[in-house]
Amino acid sequence: MERRFTLRLGEQEILMLEKLKEIVGENTDTGVIRFIINHYSELNSRYLSLRKKYSLLENQYDSKVRSIGNFLTALKDLESEEIQDVSKRQ
């Protein structure tokens, strides 16, 4: 079954289509559209996997930032206590 249709694209979409040609190695607009249709499931799975990985990395980063903040606060508290102890001894 063959289906023919006209696709009208705006300027931004035309620029993206040109970038997609380079990415997927196709020379024609039709080739790019066919590639995306034929590989949609794989591309979507890869996108979802990368999104999950990014979210995990972001959570790990946030956790490490909190840990570093807690460490620095504790260090300042210890330094403050040490200064107070030294002052009391003198």
**pTM for the whole structure:** 0.56
Residue 5 domain flag? no
Residue 18: per-residue pLDDT: 96
* Percent residues over pLDDT 90 in the chain: 77
Mean pLDDT, the chain, integer: 92
- Phi, psi of 89, deg, nearest 5: -70, -30
Residue 27 domain flag? yes
Give me the domain span that covers residue 60: 11-89
* Whether the predicted pLDDT of 88 surpasses 80: no
- CA-to-CA distance for 82 and 76, rounded, in angstroms? 10
pLDDT tens for 9-40 read 999 999 999 999 999 999 999 999 999 999 99
- CA-to-CA distance for 12 and 32, rounded, in angstroms? 16
Residue 60 domain flag? yes
